[in-house]
């Protein structure tokens, strides 16, 4: 299991297959967070196009290939496209995991199609009620994992409980957090705050045996008060998009202001500044709760982001996140 394949949907993403193949090459040459042997990467897509593009990018270092004749485009309705395109690259990636030829999928294409293909094709881990999407932010130097980021916009309280449990298992096995502190995103710290759903989720989390720190507020994400932030997929999705845009917006404003004030930044300083708000180093979003590792990258991911998503997939697969979640949900109170 520890050396199993990572299936990369080469056709997914805004600049596919160029960006995805450049990302695969970057992962192999160690430009991502982890150097990945080429033989661990299963490139899934239109094989003649992949081969031609690889020649253009400098050659094939020894990847594995699987042909898929169809592509689900960004704007397509996920459910319809999955039915209409049985030979899609994302579908074939999921199939490779289902058939145990691979242990992870990395896709930068249509998010809904990726979630749909994985949920239907892999099924959920026994005991999991609803998969959730986790994103790990590393802004404060201490990773904070937020879930759900959009798989489940109207969760029930026990879904939220499981997000806390699955997030904890992920943080333990992949982020080196021994006893992750779980917070419930709410409008106030006091116990009785929020909607009926959140009051119920609070009770469940408090009784779960997880390291539950109680309610946390929007600003607490940057205050290091917890390692896992549990929220519904609606709020999570809004937050994620807001942070992405706000970070780039604010940075542009600050750089503009510095320029106006005559402050001349060297290339190195500019690079450091951009690294401060760089979302790319966090890899992709992780679909937790399905039978296999599924990493969903941003459609606009560049080669470094893709290399990092591949590294994240290797780490999650080798750490056995899926197996740990199965065991953790069976006995959440002993998950430490």
> Which positions lie near a copy of itself, rule CB under 8 A?
139-140, 150, 153-154, 185, 187, 194-196, 217-223, 231, 233-235, 237-247, 249-251, 253-254, 257-258, 260-261, 263, 265-266, 268-269, 272-273, 276-277
Give me the least distance between CB of 238 and a copy of itself, in Å please.
4
* CB closer to a copy of itself, 16 vs 137: 137
Pairing of the two strands 293-296 and 102-107: parallel
What is the secondary structure of 162-191 as a DSSP string? HHHHHHHHHHHHHS--SS-EEEEE-S-SST
With respect to a copy of itself, which residue has the nearer C-beta, 70 or 237?
Answer: 237
Residue 205 has which token pair?
Answer: 């989390």
Q: How far is the CB of 38 from a copy of itself (least distance, A)?
A: 36
Q: Is 234 exposed, middle or buried (CB count within 10 Å of its CB: 0-12, 13-18, 19+)?
A: middle
Kindly tell me which of 268 and 331 has the beta carbon lying closer to a copy of itself: 268
Q: What is the DSSP letter of 124?
A: B
Residue 140 CB, shortest distance to a copy of itself, in Å, is 8
Strands 132-137 and 181-185: unpaired
Residue with tokens 């699987």: 66
Nearest residue (CB) to a copy of itself, 146 versus 306: 146
Tell the smallest beta-carbon distance from residue 111 to a copy of itself (Å).
10
Name the DSSP class of 94: H
Per-residue burial over 48-73, b = 16 or more CB atoms within 10 Å of its CB, e = otherwise: eebeebbeeeeebeebbebebebbbe
- Which of 1, 250 has the CB closer to a copy of itself? 250
CA distance 294 to 94: 9
Q: Cα separations (Å) of 303 from 2, 27, 43, 75, 310?
A: 25, 9, 15, 22, 11
Closer to a copy of itself at the Cβ: 3 or 187? 187
Rounded to an integer, what distance in angstroms lies between the CA atom of residue 14 and that of residue 270?
Answer: 26
**Shortest distance (Å) from residue 205 CB to a copy of itself:** 17
Nearer to a copy of itself, 39 or 222 (CB): 222
For residue 159, the minimal CB distance to a copy of itself (Å) is 14
For 22, the 3-state DSSP assignment is helix
**With respect to a copy of itself, which residue has the nearer C-beta, 34 or 225?**
225
CB 225: neighbour CB atoms within 10 A? 17
**Shortest distance, position 303 Cβ to a copy of itself, whole Å:** 23
Is the bond preceding 83 in cis, omega lying within 30 degrees of 0? no
Q: How far is the CB of 105 from a copy of itself (least distance, A)?
A: 22
CB of 308 to a copy of itself, least distance (A): 20
Nearer to a copy of itself, 3 or 246 (CB): 246
At residue 68, what are phi and psi to the nearest 5 degrees?
Answer: -140, 130
């Amino acid at each position: 299991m520890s050396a199993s394949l990572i299936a990369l949907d080469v056709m997914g993403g805004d600049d596919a297959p160029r960006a995805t193949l450049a990302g695969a090459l970057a992962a192999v040459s160690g430009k991502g967070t982890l150097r990945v042997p080429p033989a661990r990467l299963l490139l899934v897509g239109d094989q003649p196009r992949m081969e031609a593009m690889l020649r253009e990018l400098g050659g094939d270092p020894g990847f594995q290939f699987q042909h898929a004749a169809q592509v689900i485009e960004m704007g397509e309705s996920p459910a319809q496209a999955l039915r209409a395109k049985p030979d899609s690259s994302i579908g074939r990636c999921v199939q490779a995991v289902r058939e145990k030829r691979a242990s992870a999928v990395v896709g930068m294409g249509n998010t809904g199609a990726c979630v749909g293909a994985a949920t239907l094709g892999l099924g959920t881990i026994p005991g999991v009620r609803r998969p959730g999407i986790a994103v790990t932010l590393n802004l404060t130097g201490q990773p904070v994992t937020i879930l759900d980021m959009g798989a489940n916009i109207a969760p029930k309280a026990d879904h939220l409980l499981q997000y806390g449990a699955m997030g904890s298992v992920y943080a333990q096995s992949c982020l080196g957090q021994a006893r992750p502190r779980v917070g419930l995103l709410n409008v106030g710290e006091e116990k009785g705050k929020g909607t009926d759903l959140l009051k119920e989720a609070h009770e469940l989390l408090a009784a779960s045996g997880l390291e539950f720190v109680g309610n946390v507020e929007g600003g607490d994400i940057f205050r290091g008060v917890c390692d896992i932030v549990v929220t519904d997929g609606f709020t999570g999705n809004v937050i994620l998009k807001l942070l992405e845009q706000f970070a780039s917006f604010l940075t542009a404003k600050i750089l503009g202001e510095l320029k106006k004030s005559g402050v001349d930044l060297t290339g190195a300083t500019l690079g450091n500044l951009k690294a401060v708000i760089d979302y790319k180093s966090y890899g992709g979003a992780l679909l937790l709760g399905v039978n296999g590792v599924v990493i969903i990258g941003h459609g606009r991911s560049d080669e470094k982001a893709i290399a990092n998503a591949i590294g994240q997939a290797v780490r999650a697969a080798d750490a056995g996140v899926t197996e740990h979640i199965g065991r953790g949900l069976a006995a959440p109170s002993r998950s430490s």
